Amino acid sequence: MTRPKIYIDGQSGTTGLEIRQRLADRSDIDLLIIPEDRRHEEAARKQMFEEADLAFLCLPDEAAREAVQLAEGTGVRLIDASTAHRTAWTYGFPELDRNQEERIRQADKVANPGCHATGFIAAVAPLSRSGLLDPETVLTAFSLTGYTGGGKKMIAAYETGKTPQMEAPKAYGLDLNHKHLPEMM
């Protein structure tokens, strides 16, 4: 049996680097590495999708949507780490219900769940499924986050020019229009 070939589209971003590091020393897969100077070339990326059995999309939302179009027809299975497809694709949370793990195994496109949404869903879904929580109940979710999910620019700002204001938590996403809200609902 041949080893699965895995490509990371967005391999130089924070998520892509983490996945690449975790997969780099594995002998049971072939990690496809796109040359740094070609990572923005559509033809080079398309070739990687064609060669890969599985690809991780570690891109901003709009770029992830574009990557799906680029991968169309290649037969590659996709796991998207962005929020672009979390409510449209198979949700990559095997503990969600007794059939979710099999759905993930069979899916060609899997949306990787968000960390804050996963914590919320892990607590709320069983209560809702069991009837202990009315689906119409209004809930509030509170969580704290760091800065690494904000991308390279935010990481650089925090690591090279941190201001006193950056030291304290601040509220955001209070307008009920946060990008994780559809996933949590």
Tokens 């130089």, residue located: 12
- Our answer to whether residue 58 is catalytic in this structure is no
For residue 95, which amino acid is it?
E
Report d(CA 121, CA 5) in Å as an integer.
32
Report d(CA 130, CA 2) in Å as an integer.
44
57 φ/ψ angles, rounded to the nearest 5 degrees: -100, 110
Annotated active-site residue in 44, 88, 115, 166: 115
Give 62-66 contacts, CB < 8 A, sequence gap 24+: 63/10
> Closest Cα to residue 158, out of 79, 36, 166, 57?
166
Q: How far apart are the first and last CA of the chain?
A: 41
Q: Are 10 and 16 in contact (CB under 8 A)?
A: yes
Active site residues: 115
